[in-house]
Structure 1
């Protein structure tokens, strides 16, 4: 399981690195190669199809043209033979010549026929020659347009000497085969036409025309590579330029001898076929050339894209790299560094923001250093301030026990109460106490003042027992009572009352006196002063107001209702919970 996780992480890091540089490279490769592959594949597929269809169409057009040219040759032979038939053609003259027994007239007729045949030959330059064949005559071959080959005889003419391409009515087309006339070494197509006349006899007309097997194309190499085949309607090969498919053999669809060729065929009107066999290497040569050109273009496009990507990468990464160096240098040295400049406004703006941030950080670091030094000084002052309270407590305890030894009970009680008040006011472990603790401390303070002033003050405290455990900040009630003692009473016999109770909105703390009252101007001074007027413990109403703001926010409030000559009522409204839990 552990190895699989390691392998998975390695593969993930390989294809999705943890660095910006690596991820940008991966994304750039994807967005660069993907369009090229998709567009290239689609373009290649359809262009390949179009190119293949074009090449195939060219070869098919060639074989169709070749077939049409042969059809014209056969049509030309047929039209020439039409001049030699009876009932309107030279065949009538030939029949007349055969029936005439007068030697003189027969000679004249022969010369006239021979002259006409010569004119026919000259008027049809594609016709090599012709002759008439009379099977029942002692001289079967007559009216030859040229001397005939010696080995040509009556027997082999009527036999299967020449391969028959196709037969149409009385017309039989043969070839390709060697010429029967002397002086013609090329192969020819021939037509043998049977003519029946009124005497019940028959004779034959033989015509032949040149057969040019070479295919004339614009590309000599391609033309020389094409192998031409002629196949009769029975699929017998009559002519072949392919060694593996000799003449006289049958050629069927799917023949294994055609596997090395791409073949195209065109069928004549009488069922014969013209075939072009193109070697696969020749057929695909043009496709291969196009593929090479396409590949070269694709590689060139890819190279240009990669160069563009590298340029963009250099344009983006170099400023980021410089900025990274600046940040590293700044972590070691916060002194002023030279301003970086690029040719891109976006990076210049980013560098300017970094410069501003660097200046702010430098200022904050200097401020932190100053505060740290001040904090150390305050720690020393705090330690020094802790010396006097301890010394004072120890001294008071000594006085307390000495008074007890000497029987000075009043002094003992005074010191005991004062010690409790002093301990409550000077303890630093927590600024949050319960209402019960605040009331106990307030009563100690009242007892201390009564001892001091010979029990001249009547300060009753009323507390709802249900809210004794509610937390409040220290020194909320004592400054109010102290203010009433020093500023509110009309005489030594005045009265002050303290009430702490729960309401629907929270908790009310009320300190009321029957003193002289406070003017509005004086109330503003007491509320807005940092510590009010220092008296007794030195904590004023301004302190109380700030404590309420710190621990209750806007949830607490303090009001002063006072009338000159009648007294003053100070009311504090607080919620039953604190916004801040504690403060050491």
Structure 2
């Protein structure tokens, strides 16, 4: 697609620039939000789940260690076994006290352990405990997480301690004593990982659900039974540590005790920051569009309004209106452009004035040329009559002189040698010098290098006026006129040098000669010939730097023409 107008290109450039900036910002911010979500939220989920699972594994292991000492072969269980075989009440009382003390000693190194007791399932009553159990405690009603032989793991549930309502995990263990009595060993420990989850995800306003499932993926514990019920079976990919299910993102961690902890977060909460990013990026897009529209309007005012004014000025200039107009657009570059435009108007006016002056000078030169010729048609006819009279009276010198003068006049009028070449100009120059020798006493040294360049076309009458100035205005008696004509084929130029050893010119006179526009004061003097040669060269070659004059008082004058092989 090509845009021909400045407006189209500006709109295209502005749109592309804004879109690229917006896309770069959107891409960068999305990656930042996504990376933060992955690093912050995912790391928080995995880290919290691992800590919870490790804590559960340690707590269950500690409870197993406690119940191991409560077995008949343990140091606490052996006293219980002896209690059942004691006959005296005093012995039973002493053993009962020692059993309670041993239980307290056993739990002393586990500060989170709360209720530890021997429970008679037949009577649904505790026998020995370190703390008073709740009156309505029934162990058979406790939820079961996993059964491993005689050991049963319970998920988080309310504490059996009478004066505590917190969440605990527990282990029950079946034991048979020597008298055949079957008792259940119970030990529980506080588990505050739920509070840790609240601290982690509550600050981010992200509701979570904690599940504990068995190897068949059946839910054994749920922190939110309204969404995931106990007994419900999940369909989690066992090969992946995370995934999505029913609008939730899940992460899993297997326990060393044969069950799995699962932490779930709602996808809507998980992607809350991405949703907020979409809303913000939409607002930014609208704002960017407004900025682009405002910028386009400002650019139109700043650029197109001055351009419209400039276009009107160009039309006025085309119609010939050269009036200077002062504009203040408020933009320095456009004000400078209008200043340059006004300067251009002034230069155009100056050039037009110069052209008018040159036309007047050319017209004046034509008039002077006609005056200088003094009716040459009549003069030529008279010379022809004098020529035949000299022939009839056998006056050969007069005949030769008149014939040469007639040739010069005929050449100057264009009557002969219409196709002027350098060779013809040289012939004209030699004829003129021969005529002048009959009047003036001087020596002429003419050196001409032969070559094809002599047949090159040149302007008419450019050598004779230079020779005339040297003979009539420069040479004294017994003066010498040197004329050298040669060609430089490498530079494709012709060098013509006309020099005299006469009285020369002072600095002021030389500067007047070097200024062609200042040579119109003497109508028939030295200036008219030089001005004619200068104008002819400029007209034929299109250049005004082809004639060079050097002169010093009493040292003579040298005029050099450097002519190209071809005119313009």
Smaller-chain TM-score range? Answer: 0.5 to 0.7
Q: Which one of 451, 475, 498 corresponds to residue 464 of structure 2? A: 475
Deviations 1:438-476 (A, max 9, x none): 4456447756996xx9xx999999776847974883315
> 5 Å matches for 1:143-542?
143=126, 146=135, 163=144, 165=146, 167=148, 171-174=151-154, 191-195=171-175, 197=177, 199=178, 203-207=182-186, 217=198, 226-232=208-214, 238-239=220-221, 247=232, 252-254=237-239, 258=244, 261-297=248-284, 300=287, 303-304=290-291, 307=294, 311=298, 314-332=301-319, 334-368=321-355, 374=360, 381=367, 391-392=377-378, 395-396=381-382, 399=385, 416-427=403-414, 433-434=421-422, 437-439=425-427, 442-443=430-431, 446=434, 466=450, 470=454, 473-475=462-464, 479=468, 483=472, 488=477
C-alpha separation in 1, matches of 2:205 and 2:348: 84
C-alpha distance in 1 between matches for 2:205 and 2:559:
113
Separation (CA, whole Å) in 1 of partners of 2:435 and 2:43: 124
Judging changes above 3 Å, is the alpha-carbon distance between structure 1 residues 148 and 351 closer, same or farther for their aligned structure 2 residues? closer
Question: Using a 3 Å threshold, how does the CA distance of structure 1 residues 170 and 420 change in structure 2: closer, same or farther?
Answer: same
Normalised to the residue count of structure 2, the TM-score between the two structures is 0.62
Match of 1:48 among 34, 46, 63: 34
Cα 1:207/1:284, change in 2 over 3 Å: same
Contact 2:249 2:265 survives alignment (8 Å): yes
What is the CA distance between 1:49 and its match in structure 2? 0.5
- Separation (CA, whole Å) in 1 of partners of 2:70 and 2:296: 82
CA distance in 2, matches of 1:502, 1:384: 30
Aligned partners of 1:234 and 1:291: how far apart in 2? Answer: 40
Q: Specify which of 120, 135, 141 is matched with residue 132 of structure 1.
A: 120
Distance 1:270 1:475, change over 3 A: same
- C-alpha contact 1:166 1:174 (8 A) present in aligned 2: no
Q: Structure 1 CA distance, aligned partners of 2:504 and 2:356?
A: 46
Q: Does 268-277 or 385-394 show the bigger shift?
A: 385-394
SS at match of 1:578: strand
Give 1:341 deviation, angstroms.
1.7
Q: Using a 3 Å threshold, how does the CA distance of structure 1 residues 275 and 366 change in structure 2: closer, same or farther?
A: same
1:263-309 deviations in whole A, cap 9, x for unaligned? Answer: 12344453532101334344223432244335535654675576457
Q: Please give the alpha-carbon distance, in whole angstroms, between the structure 1 residues aligned to 2:552 and 2:414.
A: 29
Q: Given the superposition, is the C-alpha separation of residues 231 and 409 from structure 1 closer, same or farther in structure 2, using an over 3 Å criterion?
A: same
TM, length-normalised to structure 1? 0.61
> Per-residue deviation at 1:54?
1.5
CA distance in 1 between counterparts of 2:208 and 2:245 reads 15
> Which SS does the other structure have where 1:230 is aligned?
strand
Q: Which residue of the partner structure matches residue 34 of structure 1? A: 20
Match of residue 98 from structure 1: 84
Question: Which of the numbers 11, 22, 25 marks the counterpart of 2:8?
Answer: 22
- Rounded to whole Å, the distance in 2 between the matches of 1:464 and 1:239 is 126
Where does the alignment leave 5 or more consecutive residues of structure 1 unmatched? 1-10, 134-138, 181-185, 490-495, 513-517, 563-569
When the two chains are superposed, the root-mean-square deviation of aligned CA atoms in Å is: 6.5
Query: Is contact 2:243–2:250 with CA below 8 Å preserved after alignment?
Result: no
Q: Which residue of 2 aligns with 1:136?
A: none
CA offset digits 1:87-120 (Å, max 9, x no partner):
8876456434533578x88998999999999x99
CA distance in structure 2 between the partners assigned to 1:561 and 1:468 by the alignment: 37
Name the SS of the counterpart of 2:464 in structure 1.
coil
**1:330 Cα deviation after fit:** 3.6
Gaps spanning 5+ residues in structure 2: where? 128-132, 161-165, 489-494, 514-518, 538-544
* Partners of 1:131 and 1:205 within 8 A in 2: yes
Judged with a 3 Å threshold, the aligned counterparts in structure 2 of structure 1 residues 474 and 544 are, in CA distance, closer, same or farther, namely same
What per-residue deviation string (whole Å, max 9, x for no partner) do you get for residues 547-569 of structure 1? 5999785777679989xxxxxxx
Give the whole-Å Cα distance in 2 for the aligned partners of 1:313 and 1:281: 46
Contact kept, 8 Å, 2:466 with 2:529, in 1: the verdict is: no
Q: How far 1:510 moved relative to its partner?
A: 8.0
Query: 2:474 touches 2:557 (CA, 8 Å); kept in 1?
Result: no
* SS of alignment partner, residue 131 of structure 1: strand
Larger deviation, residues 258-267 vs 65-74: 65-74
**Count, aligned residues:** 519
